[in-house]
Amino acid sequence: MPGKRDLLSMLDVEKDLIGILELAASIKNRTKAGEPYEPLRGKSLAMIFEKSSTRTRVSFEVGMTQLGGHALFLSPNDLQIGRGETIADTARVLSRYVDGILYRAYKNETVRELARHATVPVINGLDDREHPCQIITDLLTIQEHRGTLKGLTLAYVGDGNNVCNSLLLGCAEVGMHMLAGVPKGYEQDPRLLSEARPISMVTECSIEVVHDPVEAVRKADVVYTDVWVSMGMEKEREERERIFLPFQITGKLLEAAKDEAVVMHCLPAHRGLEITDQVVDGPQSIVFDEAENRLHAQKAVLVRLLGRE
Ligand code: CP
Ligand code: NVA
Q: What number is the average pLDDT over the span 137-151?
A: 98
Please tell me the predicted confidence (pLDDT) of residue 2. 53
Supply the residue whose CA is at minimum distance from atom 2 of ligand 1. Answer: 55
CATH of region 132-290, choose from 3.50.40.10, 3.40.50.1370, 3.20.20.70, 3.40.190.10: 3.40.50.1370
Q: What local confidence, expressed as pLDDT, does residue 309 receive?
A: 63
> Residue 51: its pLDDT value, please?
96
One-character DSSP codes across 134-146: HHHHHHHHHHHHH
Residue-wise pLDDT for 122-138, tens only, equals 999 999 999 999 999 99
Considering only CA atoms, which residue is closest to atom 6 of ligand 1?
53
Residue 127 Cα, ligand 2 centroid: separation in angstroms? 8
Would you call the peptide bond into 268 cis, given omega within 30 degrees of 0 as the criterion?
yes
* Sheet containing 222-225, strands listed edge to edge, beginning at the edge strand earlier in sequence: 207-210, 177-181, 153-157, 222-225, 262-265
Q: Is 274 touching ligand 2 by the criterion CB < 6 Å?
A: no
pLDDT tens-place string over residues 159-173: 999 999 999 999 999
Distance 16 CA to ligand 2 centre (A): 25
Ligand 2 contacts CB of residue 227 (under 6 A): yes
In CATH, 10-130+293-306 is 3.40.50.1370: yes
pLDDT number for residue 308 = 75
Domain coordinates in residue numbering, the chain: 10-130+293-306, 132-290
Distance 293 CA to ligand 1 centre (A): 12
pLDDT above 90: residue 79: yes
Atom of ligand 1 nearest to the CA of 266: 1
pLDDT at residue 181 is higher than 70: yes
Same fold, 10-130+293-306 and 132-290: yes
Tell me which residues have their CB closer than 6 angstroms to ligand 1.
53-56, 126, 134, 266-268
DSSP symbols for 31-90: HHTT----TTTT-EEEEEESS--SHHHHHHHHHHHHTT-EEEEE-TTTSGGGGT--HHHH
Neighbours of 94 (CB within 10 A): 23
Active site residues: 104, 131, 134, 226, 266, 294
How many helices (H) and strands (E) the chain has is answered by 12, 9
Q: Report which protein residue has its CA nearest ligand 1's atom 7.
A: 54
- Residue 238 has a pLDDT of 98
Give pTM, 2 decimals: 0.98
What is the three-class DSSP state of 293? helix
Task: Determine the pLDDT at residue 108.
Answer: 98
Residues 244 and 170: their CA atoms lie apart, in Å, by 24
The rounded Cα 34 to chain-centroid distance in angstroms is 27
Q: How far does the centroid of ligand 1 lie from the alpha carbon of residue 202, in Å?
A: 31
